[in-house]
Amino acid sequence: MCNVAIPKVSILASCYHGDRYLASYLDYVAKQTYFDNLEIVLIHNEPSEKELGIVETFRKQYPDHIKHLIVDPVESLPASWNRGWLAARGEYLCIWNIDDIRTPDSIERQAAMLDACPDVAMVYGDYMVVARNGETQGQLADRPEFTRALFTRYNYAGPFPMWRKSLATELGYFDEQFKFAPDCEYNIRVAFRHPMRRVPGLMGFFTDEGMGLSSKQETAIVIQVEVVAIKLRYGVYEAATRTFIPQAMKYKISDTLEFNVWHAIQPRIPGYSLIKFSRRFTAPFIILHKHLRRIAKQIVRPSHA
């Protein structure tokens, strides 16, 4: 546990079968220019002996910079992030997955922006999508400046956000229904209530390495279904892929699951019940018109047990 001054930033990092990345990941964390002001909250799912050894080596060198939460049996990514959120001591939280790499000063720049802008709830920035961990050449994801109209329709904040821990009081935690896209949903939720700010410069390198071909294809389908469910939740009906709507409707569109408890979205987002089916559809969407109106009715008049 951290026994020194309360850290300014807590990194949320969920680990499962991470021996391939863990040692280098912890080394990258230690090289952050803001290292003296941060802690890692490592939520470790079913750690191997090798992984435990890696963590212990880091702990001996930097005893005040890591909280190590061991989880057995394995739990979902959003459940681990929520567990870490509760355990974190920092004023600000950020996501840093163990197979991704942050630029050495990204955390410092993001924290400085939140310090300077008390009205801003979340900060984000550009990042590079790379094929393999450790690479620095890839496709630049150039993030737009924040507007509420844009950011309430899509997760433009990306995979390297930093936000105020206190947001949980009014917006709740990650929705544990979404196994692959909980941060996407939460970033949109934040945009309905608070401004965000783009931090200049590159935040890091997002690894799009994938798994085996069949596993990657199956995961990609689940991700697309989750994205459609999120679009239905926030009224972006014209962008909801028709093929995945029946599967997406199996999610509770108007409720979030946090620590095994259901919460309604409506009181957390003023005006949520006014999200209407109001956008005009071009030809490919005309045939969905009646079906999507039924979905809209479910969203604007949620029922709860």
Query: pLDDT for 31-65, tens place per residue?
Result: 999 999 999 999 999 999 999 999 999 999 999 99
Q: Is 187 within a domain?
A: yes
**Residue 278 one-letter amino acid:** S
Question: For residue 262, is pLDDT > 80?
Answer: yes
Model pLDDT, residue 6:
87
What's the longest Cα–Cα distance across the chain?
63
Mean pLDDT of the chain: 88
- Lowest-confidence region among 76-90, 110-124, 233-247, 272-286: 272-286
Residues 174 and 259 in one domain: no
Residues 171 and 228 in one domain: no
Where a domain ends, among 166, 192, 207?
207
Q: Is 1 within a domain?
A: no
Domain around 118:
9-207
Asked if 35 contacts 120 with a C-beta cutoff of 8 angstroms, the reply is: no
Distance, CA of 110 to CA of 93 (rounded, Å)? 10
Residues 261 and 244 in one domain: yes
Q: Is 3 within a domain?
A: no
Q: Is 2 within a domain?
A: no
Question: For residue 149, is pLDDT > 80?
Answer: yes
Residues 127 and 242 in one domain: no
Q: Is 249 within a domain?
A: yes
Mean pLDDT of 129-155: 95
Backbone φ and ψ for 162, nearest 5 degrees, come out as: -135, 135
- The percentage of residues in the chain with a pLDDT greater than 70, rounded to a whole number, is 86
Residue 25 burial by CB count (10 A; 0-12/13-18/19+): exposed, middle or buried? buried
Q: Is 254 within a domain?
A: yes
Residues 153 and 188 in one domain: yes
Where a domain ends, among 207, 230, 253?
207
For 204, the enclosing helix (H) or strand (E) is strand 196-207
- The total number of structural domains that make up the chain: 2
Q: Is 274 within a domain?
A: yes
Residues 246 and 122 in one domain: no
Asked if 117 contacts 197 with a C-beta cutoff of 8 angstroms, the reply is: yes
What tokens appear for 288 in the block? 């969905």
DSSP-derived secondary structure letter, 213: H
The radius of gyration of the chain from alpha carbons, rounded to an integer in Å, stands at 20
Which of the four pLDDT bands, split at 50, 70 and 90, describes residue 270? confident
Q: Is 305 within a domain?
A: no
Model pLDDT, residue 283:
33
Residues 193 and 92 in one domain: yes
Instruction: Tell me the pTM.
Output: 0.87
Model pLDDT, residue 280:
38
For 113, the enclosing helix (H) or strand (E) is helix 106-116
Mean pLDDT of 283-298: 48
Helix (H, G, I), strand (E, B) or coil at 240: coil
Residues 95 and 226 in one domain: no
For 196, the enclosing helix (H) or strand (E) is strand 196-207
